[in-house]
Structure 1
Amino acid sequence: MASPSPHDRSRRPSEDQDEEDPVDQMISRTGCGELHYAVQECMAEHQDWRKCQRQVQTFKDCMMTFQKARKEQLMKQRPSTESA
């Protein structure tokens, strides 16, 4: 029996799994979840990451935007440690 593709993370209901995958939860909080699934679907269809570069780049851009906004938010929340 062939093992499943490591890139095939399509959602399948399971009797053993009532919880959502922690990685899926983390990505959904970024607002980039649909783009992540687009990468997964492309990989499942083509089995070749080179054919999915458009989806990968779009997901990467979304994550970079999220990370930049998150960093700016954290910087605003930090009390200033600099003295005059």
Structure 2
Amino acid sequence: MTIKPREKFDNDDDPVESMLKKAGCLELHYKVQECIATTKDWRKCQSEVNDFKDCITKHKQEEMAKLNR
């Protein structure tokens, strides 16, 4: 089963998807979802989960750096 991202973001955006897109982590989020859907076991998706986590962490650090300027 492949989870496909929405083709177009309109006024009915999912707020989580909007935030992840802004952070540049949306595709990694989809990879985590697809892995879990395929394997039926999140523990087998640690590479995808860690990539997603690293992306979110990097975005948070960049946002904090902007606030501290």
TM, length-normalised to structure 2: 0.81
CA RMSD of aligned residues (A): 1.8
Residue of 10, 15, 22 corresponding to 1:22: 15
Overall identity of the aligned pairs, in %? 43
> Relative CO higher for 1 or 2, CA cutoff 8 Å, sep ≥ 6?
2
Residue-pair matches, total:
63
Q: From the two aligned structures, give the one with the greater helix fraction.
A: 2
CA drift at 1:62: 0.8
> Which of the two has higher C-alpha Rg?
1
Instruction: For structure 2, list consecutive stretches of 5 or more residues without a partner in the other structure.
Output: none
Q: Which runs of 4+ in 1 moved over 6 A?
A: none
Instruction: For structure 1, list consecutive stretches of 5 or more residues without a partner in the other structure.
Output: 1-9, 77-84
